[in-house]
Amino acid sequence: MSDVVLFILGLAALVVGGNQFIKGAARVATALGVSTLIIGLTVVALGTSAPELLVSLRAATTASSDIALGNVIGSNIANIGVILAISALITPIKLDWSIFRREIPFVIGFSVLVLLMALDGELGRVDGLILVLSFAAFSTLIYRQAIRERAEIEPDLTVYEQEERLTKRAPLVWEAARVIGGLLVLIVGAQFLVDSSVNIARAFGVSDLVIGITMVAIGTSLPELTICVLASLRREDDIVLGNVLGSNISNLLVIVGVVALIQPISVPRPVQTFDLPVMVVFAGLLLLFVRGRTLTRRAAPVFLLAYAAFIALTLVR
């Protein structure tokens, strides 16, 4: 029971800490004169991935690399199968920015890249370095494309950040303290979540990998879910897509890359033949956007059913 309480407290800490971290970092950037364009492309996408990063780092440093890997796989699948689907049920999601049409192939390509790297049974430090460098190159490319499309992108980002009060003027010292405090809460929440998850898994005979793919992955995806639901209610489709795509890419390149640099990640055979291929398949579902440029309410249940089937097969295995 104490582990269940710690798990719930860990989830709550991740949501609260992540929210404060995002707002504080965005306002610090604004106070320093950084444009809302840069805030939207960096802070929002990376900030919502902070829980996954902290949980994965904590898991890696405590010899629970299965949770670290499962967290990334599960989060990426949940982002598409649950978060995107729920957002589409609220209001159909339209693909407007041409930049997102370029990001979708990258999500698929990076998913395939991680799968190929894992076929030898390990994501080593060389793999980690390649992934981190790939993120740097990708960010540079997207930033340059976004600058060229600034007139189209800036208004939507500005509206979103104003609604979320990310651009509210506040004392720099206070906002810096908010960033540090949010990060500390994230760290504590990550520790509670990982430690309690491992204990619960072992108590019920469930593997660390399954716990990472299910409970931990869904828990660390709560910030993305919150932002996407709010954005859907306000019909900010671009924010929904940007959050999901940016988070998936950050999970693959930053989280897996950094964790592999610190501690090589062992990849069991079932993960190579089932979990990672399923992640690639879910990424491939994004191609529906490229063809129809809209995710309708009719298509959303397909995503949810596919996710439910994945969870059921994971638990059965």
In the chain, where the domains are located: 2-316
**What pLDDT sits at residue 67?**
74
Between CA 219 and CA 266 the distance in angstroms is: 23
Does the pLDDT at position 5 exceed 70? yes
Instruction: Summarize the confidence of residues 203-207 as an average pLDDT.
Output: 75
Q: Per-residue confidence at 257, pLDDT binned at 50, 70, 90?
A: very high
Q: Which amino acid is at 292?
A: G
Q: Range with the lowest mean pLDDT among 62-76, 144-158, 175-189, 210-224?
A: 144-158
213 vs 146, residue with greater confidence: 213
The domain 2-316 having CATH identifier 1.10.1200.10: the answer here is no
3-state secondary structure of 299: coil
- Find the mean pLDDT for residues 235-263: 82
The pLDDT assigned to 280 comes to 95
Question: pLDDT band at residue 7, thresholds of 50, 70 and 90?
Answer: confident
Residue 274: pLDDT over 90? yes
Owner of token pair 């950050």: 250
Q: How far, in Å, are 47, 85, 91 from residue 229 at the CA level?
A: 17, 10, 10
160: pLDDT strictly greater than 60: no
Rounded Cα distance, 103 and 106, in Å? 5
User: Comparing 180 with 74, which gets the higher pLDDT?
Assistant: 74
Reading phi first (left if > 0) and then psi (alpha if -120 to 50, else beta), residue 77 is in alpha
pLDDT at position 264 over 80 = yes
- Work out the burial of residue 254: count CB atoms within 10 Å of its CB; fewer than 13 is exposed, 13-18 middle, 19 or more buried: buried
Asked whether the predicted pLDDT for residue 115 surpasses 60, the reply is yes
Strands 294-295 and 265-266: unpaired
For the ranges 66-75, 159-168, 210-219, 249-258, the maximum mean pLDDT occurs at: 249-258
- What is the model's pLDDT at position 305? 93
pLDDT tens track for 98-111: 666 778 889 999 99
Cα-based angle 95, 275, 84 (whole degrees, multiple of 5): 25
Q: Where are the alpha helices (DSSP H) in the chain?
A: 2-31, 36-38, 45-48, 50-61, 65-78, 85-90, 98-118, 125-148, 150-163, 172-203, 208-211, 217-220, 222-233, 237-250, 256-262, 269-270, 276-284, 287-292, 300-316
Read off the pLDDT band of 169 (50, 70, 90). Answer: low
Report which DSSP code applies to 94: E
* Per-residue pLDDT at 149: 63
Beta bridge pairs of residue 265 = 123
CA 300 to chain centre: 19
Q: Which residues have C-beta within 8 Å of that of residue 147, sequence separation ≥ 6?
A: 37
- Backbone phi, then psi, for 265, in 5-degree steps? -100, 120
Instruction: Please list, residue by residue across 28-66, b when 16 or more beta carbons sit within 10 angstroms of its beta carbon and e when fewer do.
Output: bbbbeeeebbebbbbbbbbbbbbbbbbbbbbbbeeebbb
Residue 133 has pLDDT above 70, yes or no: yes
Please check the confidence at residue 42 and state whether its pLDDT lies above 70. no
CA distance 216 to 185: 17
Stretch 88-98: mean pLDDT, rounded? 77
Residue with more model confidence, 128 or 203? 128
Q: Above pLDDT 90, what percent of the chain? A: 17
- Mean pLDDT to the nearest integer, 285-306: 80
pLDDT band at 239 (very low <50, low <70, confident <90, very high): low
Q: Are 22 and 166 in contact (CB under 8 A)?
A: yes
Average pLDDT over residues 122-133: 94
